[in-house]
């Protein structure tokens, strides 16, 4: 939190310069993160609501919030939820990350 009470992510209304309207391509992993989020959201009862997705992102802290890209922030949040809910274990996640890195 800043001294004036504004939290870092709450940027609405601040000067931000021009809006860039041109389209850009998504990388394959970004599409996969989006798909994962949709699957978690549309399931009834859903594993994840948009508010919790945001809550986890807002809890990142200013430095990481700025450093991570849009879908990196989603990925962080989705991972938090899947571990907390017991859908995946940290061990499974760790093994998969090792596999991907190899």
**Interacting residue ranges for other proteins, rule: CB under 8 A:** 1, 5-7, 10, 12-14, 49, 51-52, 54-55, 58, 84
Least separation in angstroms between CB 13 and other proteins: 3
Least separation in angstroms between CB 96 and other proteins: 24
Give me the helix-helix angle, 70-84 and 28-42, nearest 10°.
Answer: 40
78 with 40: CB under 8 angstroms?
yes
DSSP element (H, E) containing 33: helix 28-42
SS3 percent helix, strand, coil of the chain, rounded to 5, is 55, 0, 45
- For other proteins, the closer of residues 55 and 89 by Cβ is 55
Pair of tokens at residue 42: 């549309």
Least separation in angstroms between CB 3 and other proteins: 11
- For other proteins, the closer of residues 29 and 70 by Cβ is 70
- For other proteins, the closer of residues 38 and 97 by Cβ is 38
């Amino acid at each position: 939190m800043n001294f004036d009470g504004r939290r870092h992510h709450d940027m609405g209304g601040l000067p931000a310069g021009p809006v860039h309207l041109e389209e850009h391509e998504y990388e394959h992993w970004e599409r996969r993160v989006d798909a994962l989020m949709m699957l978690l959201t549309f399931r009834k009862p859903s594993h994840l609501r948009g508010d919790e997705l945001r809550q986890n992102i807002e809890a990142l802290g200013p430095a990481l919030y700025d450093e991570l890209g849009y879908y990196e922030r989603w990925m962080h949040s989705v991972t938090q939820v899947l571990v907390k809910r017991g859908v995946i274990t940290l061990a499974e996640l760790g093994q998969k990350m090792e596999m991907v890195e190899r």
